[in-house]
A = this chain, B = another copy of it.
Amino acid sequence: MCLDKFFNPQSVAIIGAVEDEQSITSAILNNLLEMGYKGTIVPVNPHHEKIFDLKCYPSIFDCKDDIDLSIIAVSSDHVLEILNQHIKKEIKNVIILSGGFAETGDKGTALEEEIKRLSRESNIRIIGPNCIGVLDNYSNFSTFFLPWSKVKRPLKGHLSILSQSGSYAIGMLDMLALEGIGVSRFVSYGNRVDVGESELIEYLTGDDSTKVIGIYMESVDDGRRFIRASRRCSGDKHMVVLKVGRQKSGINAARSHTGAIAGRYEIYKAAFKKAGILEVNNLEEFVDACKVLLMQKPARGNKILVLTNGGGFGVAVSDACSAMELDIAETPSGIKESLSRHFPDFFIFNNPIDLTGSAGNEDFGFALKTAFVDNDCYDAAIIIPLMPPPTMTEGVVDIISQRAKESGKPVVVCTIGSVYTKEIKERFESKSIPVFLTPERAVKAMNILVERGKMHGC
């Protein structure tokens, strides 16, 4: 069954809607109005006639319109009753935001099982419970119950996120927005009584606005289906996963969190590999991996040119590359000669090429042309232009971007610092050159491109 109505409903009911700053339903209504959602909004609450100037219905039976999707945010004790009403009214799609189910112990688990049974028997499709639901940046629809004043809303773009955890989903959303990374669809599915990551991956496989899929996972819903769906999807779209609940105490915490049985990590690791999914170790790597895959293409090999005007960072990048089997291959002698004819003696011509604190914008351009554009000895480049020297100006952004384009090979930039550096970062990223603020993050991002290249045959 198609999940489209979860993302692009023409009409949406909000059960238990109230007008109260601290309530979940108010936050949802506010966000929908602010985002410019074009469908019909149907607040349901027997105690009100109007909510946010919208007609409010005593129950869903009083509303004559078809309802594509219903949002349930009432206390867990009332969810079953409400769900039965929905089945009677033949509403086919429901998002249950409420917590208080398998994550809280035996009573909640029994309640959750009952919901699962209802879903299976009546074919009502459910996202949740214990989740924050959906954000769709193309239909301007969202069930997120957080004010956009506290969380930055990401731009429209080509990254879709699937997250078991609601708090992670929000954290990611906020970080992605700060990084300027555009998002397509975002789903937090929590305890996953029905719709889970496998079916969502199947859905996103056909979604033209999604180029990269990022997954936060505590446990998998259906291992075989997940691998099958991912293999099909990852041929065309890049997939990144952050698996938590790896260690003993993390596994216990996951059980308390979404009732997930996190299982043996080694099995997951093997499954991700088989499915063509790139694995990352933490939230920062997750955001960085999604960013680099959106902006650059996979590398066809692991020979990396490192070019900098700050030797210390050349050393750090070399260390980090060695630890990851990226090859800082020696500069071929012909190239060294060309460089040494052009540059002063005290520049370092062997990879990592160090143009020293004396270098200016054009020196980066010449070195890149000579060592990267005009020959094929390197598959990709990590460039570290440090901006403090007076000879370095924002003009270097155009020069490096131009050379990167000419090369047809992937490039990532690392630059270090605070306010001025961040301006430079934004300039680079507006030209789709991803920038990372430490050497290790740049190297890990490059490694993602190399790993993806291996998988994909580039």
Contacts and interface: CB of A to CB of B under 8 A. Distances in A.
A46 interface: no
A82 interface: no
Interface string A17-32: 0000111000100000
Given A346-B104, A388-B150, A421 B319 contact: no
Interface stretch (A119-127, A251-259, A293-301): A251-259
A168 B313 contact: yes
A388 B147 contact: yes
A23 B441 CA distance: 32
Q: Residue among A22, A100, A248, A319 with the most chain B CB within 10 A?
A: A319
A186 interface: no
Contacts of A178: 417-419
Interface residues of A, number: 90
Interface in A419-440: 419-421, 438-440
A218 B319 CA distance: 11
A316 B244 contact: yes
A321 B175 contact: no
A27 B390 contact: yes
A103 B346 contact: yes
Tally of this chain's copies: 2
Interface stretch (A50-58, A230-238, A352-360, A446-454): A352-360
Given A27-B390, A244-B316, A311-B165, A99 B346 contact: yes
B168 A312 contact: yes
B348 A312 contact: no
A196 interface: no
A156 interface: no
A149 interface: yes
A357 B99 contact: yes
Nearest to A423: B150
A308 B250 CA distance: 14
A314 interface: yes
A310 interface: yes
A356 B281 CA distance: 24
Contacts of A314: 253, 256-257
A19 to B, nearest CB: 13
A318 interface: yes
A414 to B, nearest CB: 10
Contact of A440 (B103, B108, B283, B319): B283
A318 B247 CA distance: 8
A436 to B, nearest CB: 11
B321 A249 contact: yes
Q: Residue among A23, A150, A315, A319 with the most chain B CB within 10 A?
A: A315
B254 A315 contact: yes
B312 A244 contact: yes
B165 A345 contact: no
A109 to B, nearest CB: 12
B438 A282 contact: yes
A271 B315 CA distance: 21
A165 B418 contact: no
B175 A418 contact: yes
A444 to B, nearest CB: 11
A166 interface: yes
A312 B418 contact: no
B164 A282 contact: no
Contact of A388 (B146, B387, B388): B146
A253 B284 CA distance: 27
Nearest to A387: B150
Given A245-B319, A253-B318, A418-B152, A171 B386 contact: yes
A263 interface: no
The 9 closest A-B pairs by CB, nearest first: A167-B310, A165-B312, A247-B322, A250-B319, A171-B416, A178-B418, A257-B311, A174-B417, A168-B312
Given A249-B318, A283-B440, 19 more contacts: A22-B390, A104-B345, A105-B345, A147-B390, A149-B420, A151-B417, A167-B416, A174-B388, A174-B418, A175-B418, A178-B418, A218-B315, A244-B315, A245-B319, A254-B315, A256-B350, A257-B312, A257-B348, A284-B438
13 contacts: A76-B346, A99-B356, A149-B420, A151-B388, A165-B311, A167-B308, A171-B386, A177-B418, A245-B315, A250-B315, A253-B314, A282-B438, A283-B439
